[in-house]
Chains A and B, each alone.
Chain A
Amino acid sequence: DIQMTQSPSSLSASVGDRVTITCQASQDISNHLNWYQQKPGKAPKVLIYDASNLETGVPSRFSGSGSGTDFTFTISSLQPEDIATYYCQQWGRLPPVAFGQGTRLEIK
């Protein structure tokens, strides 16, 4: 099975900062990589699908890039409402799917 390594596990940044999270797959997954945001006490929400496509309604300060094994998720200008835990997710034609370990984002 494919393993996803996400880093960092936690991150503290100031409002307005550029924030970057990385995710590495144990084998080539093409662009089959999604990013989710989970706020405390809530279910996850998809932000980016297929590595770089912004889900409908998601602010443009969120972006994703990468292909193969190395992926990046970026918030261009951190806002207070972005405080959450972020997960990458690999998908294939058939399950299983794999999530990264998560990155907890806090305001400095």
Chain B
Amino acid sequence: EVHLVESGGGLVQPGGSLRLSCAASGFTFSSFEMNWVRQAPGKGLEWVSYIDYSGSSIFYADSVKGRFSISRDNARSSLFLQMTSLRVEDTAVYYCVRDRRDSRGCSFDYWGQGTLVSVSS
């Protein structure tokens, strides 16, 4: 069974940093592209970042470009999101999401339970 478990969230002051981790199990992690998606309290879903199988292709939403960095460790089946220069508007639940791309197309087929990042003074 596929499991994605996020950790590393918490309360941080504006301008601070946090590193989120996602531990994956139940599938061959190195065979799947991965994403981070966030959801501010009471708001909709916002895609944050994408990384391909090897980490050689990476994309960010404009709202986090230059401040967030996505990475992965295939040997440890782990995904990371390094967040710096955090702003109040980065407050959200952050989801680790598997990207299924096959003959059926593309969808976000497995999501973690999310980890809450709160940015406040």
Residue ranges of A at the interface with B (Cβ–Cβ < 8 Å): 31-32, 34, 36, 38, 43-46, 49-50, 53, 55, 87, 89, 91, 94-102
Contact = CB atoms under 8 A, between A and B. Distances in A.
Cβ-closest 10 pairs across A and B? A43-B111, A95-B59, A50-B105, A95-B50, A49-B107, A99-B45, A91-B106, A102-B44, A34-B107, A46-B107
B78 to A, nearest CB: 19
Contact of A98 (B47, B50, B59): B47
Interface of B: 35, 44-47, 50, 57, 59, 61, 95, 104-109, 111-114
Contacts of A53: 104-105
Of B105, B109, B114, chain A has the most CB atoms within 10 Å of the CB of B105
Given A32-B106, A50-B105, A53-B104, A43 B44 contact: no
B95 A43 contact: yes
The secondary-structure label for the interface of chain A is loop
Contacts, number: 64
B92 to A, nearest CB: 13
A64 to B, nearest CB: 12
Contact of B104 (A43, A49, A99, A101): A49
A96 B104 contact: no
Contacts of A89: 45, 107-108
A50 B109 CA distance: 13
A69 B108 CA distance: 21
B61 A46 contact: no
26 contacts: A32-B105, A32-B106, A34-B105, A34-B107, A36-B45, A43-B111, A43-B112, A43-B113, A43-B114, A44-B95, A44-B111, A46-B109, A49-B104, A50-B104, A53-B104, A53-B105, A55-B107, A89-B108, A94-B50, A95-B35, A96-B47, A97-B47, A99-B47, A101-B44, A102-B44, A102-B45
